[in-house]
Structure 1
Amino acid sequence: MTDIPPDFDPESPEEREIAGEAATDRSDFLSLMGHTYRGELSRMTSWRTRIDRTTNWAVVVTATLLTWAFSAGSRPHYILLVGVAMLAIFLWIEVRRYRVYDIWRSRVRLLEENVFANALDPEGVVQSNWRQLLSEDFREPTIKISAYEATSRRLRRVYFPLISVLISAWVVRLTVFGTATGVVGAASVGAVAGEFVLLGVAAFYGSVLAVTFWPSGRQAKGELQSESETGVWK
């Protein structure tokens, strides 16, 4: 362990502002940026892993419920609706994780655009005040993406197909195994009439469709967009 000099005063102006000296030394500053990039990339990877874990849970639950629901004709149809509710909970958890993940991703992209890209091909920085932006974000980290956009993106990437599969399977389950009482009668859940269940599912799926595909502005930084969204890959 390094011995601390007896006259060391962490409150002295020289020691308090020692990191500021890196701003005037190119070698120290670029070295600091390299360490910063690795640290932010590690944080980003850690939160990306958390997002993937929730996605894995959603896929496993969907596959398990589909297998169980169609393994026998006596299986209750509403178990598939329970699965949809579970996917909604997973989506809520993942949206929260995604918004935090975007904090680290935005920092990584800020460094890549203005430091590494310019070092490889010095055509100028993308954002002239990138150092100020990064400094402010280090001092006061803020969530930069809205809950609506995060929900829309996670639905489009993962959850809309899973929800669609479960609801489609639920409709098939009603039409195949509920022919004796009709689809409306078969859709009832306990004391809840089939009409209300069908209307509720239709309203929920319509809301999911709207959130998934309704055009909106983009705030997320550094995420690939498909050609159908923007006309080009970004």
Structure 2
Amino acid sequence: MPQKDQEELWPKQDIESGTLTALAHLYRAEVFRSTHWRTRLDNTTNWAVVTTGIALSATFSNIDASPLPMVLVGLLVTVFLIFEARRYRYYNMFRARARLMETDIYAPILYGRKVPWNSEWSRMLADDYEMPHYHISLARAAGRRLRSNYSWILAIQAVAYYGKIAIHPEPLVNLSEAFSRAAIGPIPGELVMLAGIVFHLSWVIFAIVTLRLDKAYREQRKSPMQAI
């Protein structure tokens, strides 16, 4: 290809080669950090899955086993969700930086366009390095992880709990018997089951509300840094 045609296809960049190399290393670092935090997210989910499995084994090990482990594991899974939401905020920050470099540096280069050096993307990235901050609230982060993974875990826990009440030690005959089986020590079964219904309705409502917040936030976003 003639040099003139090559220059038209790949115009000379305003960014010096040394600076571009440094940005390439910076991009690799951000991808590495986002991958690391992504692995930590998966670890927390694994904890929730394993503890749910242990509770299921303990609850259904024999017909006289108590359904209490399923109640406790619901609370424990909620704690894991909070841990994972905190980790997701870190993951989101590094992922957003990498995404900004992909859309505003590498994409224009691949299209054969010049990358403006002193422009909005460079200022946004510099500001984010100078004053690091989360790009997503804890509630929205928890909502995303809940919709992705934890809603399924909590749904299985709920079905297993009420399944245990319904079949052990023998199939239910009437509702009063279900309340009797659900009782935990001095706490009446009616109150235990009501608390369970409120708990599961709460996370369903929370998932829906945070989904709407995410949609509203995306409609107002002004940069790739805010898109994650």
**Length-normalised TM-score, structure 2:** 0.81
Structure with the bigger percentage of helix: 2
Residue 71 of structure 1, CA deviation: 1.6
% identical aligned pairs: 31
Q: 1:177 to 1:35 in 2, by over 3 A?
A: same
Residue 230 of structure 1: aligned partner: none
Residue 203 of structure 1, CA deviation: 0.8
| C-alpha contact (below 8 Å) 2:183/2:192 kept by paired residues | yes
Gaps of 5+ in 2: 1-13, 219-225
Residue 129 of structure 2: aligned partner: 138
Q: 1:108 to 1:182 in 2, by over 3 A?
A: same
Q: Partner letter of residue 188 of structure 2?
A: A
Moved over 3 A (4+): 122-125, 178-181, 218-223
Gaps of 5+ in 1: 1-23, 224-234
User: Which residue of the other structure, out of 198, 213, 216, is the alignment partner of 1:216?
Assistant: 213
SS of 2:193 mapped into structure 1 = helix
CA distance in 2, matches of 1:136, 1:203: 43
1:30-41 superposed matches below 5 A: 30-41=20-31
CA distance in 1, matches of 2:114, 2:48: 43
Q: Partner letter of residue 201 of structure 1?
A: G
User: Which residue of the other structure, out of 48, 57, 63, is the alignment partner of 1:73?
Assistant: 63
User: Which residue of the other structure, out of 160, 165, 180, is the alignment partner of 1:169?
Assistant: 160
CA distance in 1, matches of 2:107, 2:15: 20
Tell me how large the CA RMSD over aligned residues is: 2.1
CA distance in 1, matches of 2:57, 2:105: 51
Q: Partner letter of residue 109 of structure 1?
A: R
| C-alpha contact (below 8 Å) 2:58/2:69 kept by paired residues | no
Q: 1:111 to 1:185 in 2, by over 3 A?
A: same
Structure 1 residue 198 corresponds to structure 2 residue 193? yes
Residue 64 of structure 1, CA deviation: 2.0
Residue 25 of structure 1, CA deviation: 5.1
CA distance in 1, matches of 2:54, 2:182: 21
SS of 2:53 mapped into structure 1 = helix
Relative CO higher for 1 or 2, CA cutoff 8 Å, sep ≥ 6?
A: 2
Per-residue CA deviations over 1:20-67 (Å, capped at 9, x if unaligned) read: xxxx75212211110110111111111111111111111111122212
1:174-185 superposed matches below 5 A: 174-177=165-168, 179=172, 182-185=177-180
Count of matched residue pairs = 199
Residue 119 of structure 1: aligned partner: 109
CA distance in 1, matches of 2:167, 2:194: 20
Q: Partner letter of residue 163 of structure 2?
A: V
Residue 100 of structure 1, CA deviation: 1.2
Relative to structure 2, which stretch is displaced further, 58-67 or 142-151?
58-67
Residue 62 of structure 1: aligned partner: 52
CA distance in 2, matches of 1:216, 1:124: 36
| C-alpha contact (below 8 Å) 2:108/2:114 kept by paired residues | yes
